[in-house]
């Protein structure tokens, strides 16, 4: 039932919206992991990020894409929680008061064991429009236990203008989605996070819309 709703939601609403309202410049689509277990790490500027990334997959596979999202934000309202869990299929994760790190990522590991593709925004929050904030180390905790997991970086640009944090009105813009090469595992957390950050920044150079941002004072 929910899977039907999910497919309808993506087929009738998300995909046409992404096609017409946004329009994507996609680079290196073939680098996107076609099947799980795998992880996609992307920059985060807008609620649209999740929908755009999921829309890159065929309808038959959309239920395998699991965005990891903040429990404090998405679960605090009943309707939003139902929608996030059942239609989008998020894996809720705590952002504060963390005691047991193993328990924190239990759901993520369960999804990976199930052959799903995790969608993670390591910035932790949408932040300022079109600016890459410092990355959190959470992803390294997951990968430490699965060094062979395929981790693919994706840089998106333009969505922070189409629907930035704190805005309700959507404005059409073309957006770039640049998919990078899989990031090799490294034991050291800081080094690993640095190489993810570096890779995202490199992908930014390929974005066609990169010049269009004028930051407000």
Partner 1 sequence: MFNIPLHSFYMMLFVIFLLIAGSLIRLRLQRKNPSVDYTELKQRIQSWWWMIAILFGILLAPTTISITFFALLSFLALKEFFSIMPTRQADRRVLLWAYLAIPAQYYWVETAWYGMFLIFIPIYVFLFLPMRAVFIGETKGFIRSLGTIHWAVMLSVLCISHIAYLLQLPVINEEAGALGLVLFLIFITQFNDVCQYIWGKTFGKHKIIPKVSPKKTWEGFIGGVVTVTIISGLLAPYLTPLTMVQGFVAGSLIAVSGFVGDVVISSVKRDLAIKDSGTLIPGHGGLLDRIDSLIYTAPLFFHFLYYLCY
C-alpha 109/C-alpha 106 separation (Å) is 5
Q: Which of 161, 179, 183, 200 binds partner 1 (CB under 8 A)?
A: 161
- Does 168 interact with partner 1 (rule: CB under 8 A)? no
Which is closer to partner 1, CB of 80 or CB of 131? 131
C-alpha 21/C-alpha 12 separation (Å) is 13
Three-state SS at 24: strand
Q: Which of 73, 83, 173, 185 binds partner 1 (CB under 8 A)?
A: 173
**Which residues from 178-217 bind partner 1, rule CB under 8 A?**
208-209, 211-217
C-alpha 154/C-alpha 199 separation (Å) is 9
Strand partners, 70: 93
**Which residues from 100-139 bind partner 1, rule CB under 8 A?**
129
**Residue of 138, 129, 149 whose CA lies nearest to 189:** 138
Q: Which of 9, 15, 25, 85 binds partner 1 (CB under 8 A)?
A: 25
Q: Which of 37, 89, 153, 164 binds partner 1 (CB under 8 A)?
A: 164
Q: Shortest gap between Cβ of 11 and partner 1 (angstroms)?
A: 21
- Does 12 interact with partner 1 (rule: CB under 8 A)? no
Side-chain-facing half-sphere of 89: CA atoms under 13 Å: 22
Contact 62, 6 (CB under 8 A): yes
Binding site for partner 1 (CB under 8 A): 23, 25-26, 129, 158, 161, 164, 167, 169, 171-175, 208-209, 211-217
């Amino acid at each position: 039932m929910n899977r039907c709703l999910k497919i309808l939601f993506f087929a009738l609403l998300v995909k046409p919206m992404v096609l017409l309202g946004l329009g994507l410049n996609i680079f290196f689509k073939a680098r996107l992991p076609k099947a799980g277990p795998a992880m996609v790490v992307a920059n985060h500027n807008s609620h649209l990020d999740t929908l755009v990334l999921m829309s890159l997959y065929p309808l038959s596979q959309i239920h395998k894409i699991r965005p990891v999202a903040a429990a404090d934000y998405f679960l605090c309202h009943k309707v939003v929680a139902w929608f996030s869990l059942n239609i989008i299929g998020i894996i809720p994760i705590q952002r504060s008061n963390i005691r047991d790190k193993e328990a924190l990522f239990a759901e993520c590991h369960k999804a990976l064991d199930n052959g799903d593709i995790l969608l993670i925004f390591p910035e932790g929050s949408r932040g300022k429009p079109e600016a890459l904030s410092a990355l959190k180390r959470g992803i390294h905790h997951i990968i430490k236990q699965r060094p062979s997991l395929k981790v693919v970086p994706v840089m998106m640009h333009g969505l922070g203008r189409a629907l930035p944090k704190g805005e309700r009105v959507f404005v059409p813009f073309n957006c770039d989605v640049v998919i990078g090469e899989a990031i090799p595992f490294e034991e050291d957390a800081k080094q690993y996070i640095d190489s993810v950050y570096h890779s995202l920044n490199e992908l930014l150079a390929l974005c066609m819309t990169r010049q269009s941002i004028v930051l407000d004072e």
